[in-house]
Chain A
């Protein structure tokens, strides 16, 4: 793990952008009492170092096409987790598929159009010969994004 060193100004910038990624650098500069160029430079440096991967908007999937977010927990016969993982990744609608330690061997999150599609996906996964069990959770209401996402820590070295 390669930690990127950040100071309190970087954290201030990140915090403000986490709440509103479109906040003008000038406004951030005024709040932080530094020049706009400083903010611009800091932002670009954090991008270059890979700490900031980009900016995005958060859309409520349910407002478009009645989408459902589901989390999927899969139990697999040892040692076939990797094999199942590869197949699950290929299913349409998946956006996060991972090996896991805990109750399940593989966990996934998917955005699916309707209950029918949820059932199809569940059956597809359950049909893999190495899969023992598939649990599905359907996310209801609006998913809440943490206003802070991540604690940033100033470099203490």
Chain B
């Protein structure tokens, strides 16, 4: 879909602060607030804006590192497993992938015990064949913000 400068400005501003008032964006772009709310609705309906969220610093609430899980599943069951993985509360983001794994999930982790539990939970799901871990050191933040252009 083609985005014009109004759409791009809206996206840029909401990326930095999702709580900004649409009136303020309207003032900046010199258009009516209705135009902005229509555009936001359209961007949401077309699936360009998936959702909005609050960005929390995981290190402030007891999480000490981030782990990337690479999961291999029985062919054709990727979606089913993905839906289960995304329900694990500490998982931030997960996706189907093409490469050496079938699924990738990124999760915040409290400690090694928690890590083992997470790994066992995923391994215990039906159709999961293998789980591979990569523990991220020296990075304590990943925010949905990064997933934006």
Contacts and interface: CB of A to CB of B under 8 A. Distances in A.
Interface in B12-52: 14-19, 46-52
Nearest to B137: A99
B99 A135 contact: yes
A107 B139 CA distance: 11
B57 A50 contact: yes
Contacts of A55: 17-19, 52-55
Nearest to B144: A58
Contact of B54 (A1, A52, A102): A52
Contact of B135 (A100, A141, A153): A100
Contacts of A143: 93-95, 147
Contact of A100 (B11, B64, B134): B134
A149 B134 contact: no
Contacts of A22: 18-19, 52
A144 B90 contact: no
A20 to B, nearest CB: 6
What is the size category of the interface that chain B forms with chain A?
Answer: 35 or more
B104 A139 contact: yes
A1 B94 contact: no
Given A1-B64, A59-B48, A144-B93, A104 B134 contact: yes
A99 B56 contact: no
Given A53-B57, A140-B97, A60 B48 contact: yes
Nearest to A67: B149
Interface string B119-149: 0000000000000111111110111111111
What is the size category of the interface that chain A forms with chain B?
Answer: 35 or more
Contact of B104 (A1, A137, A148): A137
A50 B141 CA distance: 12
A144 B19 contact: no
A111 B147 CA distance: 8
Nearest to B65: A101
Contacts of A139: 95-97, 104
A137 B97 contact: yes
Interface in A59-73: 59-61, 63-65, 67, 69, 71, 73
A111 B60 CA distance: 28
Given A58-B50, A144-B94, A137 B55 contact: no
7 contacts: A1-B62, A4-B61, A6-B61, A52-B55, A58-B51, A100-B136, A137-B97
Q: Nearest 4 pairs between A and B by C-beta?
A: A137-B99, A98-B139, A55-B18, A21-B52
Interface of B: 1, 3, 11, 14-19, 46-64, 66, 68, 70, 82-83, 86-101, 104, 106, 108, 132-139, 141-149
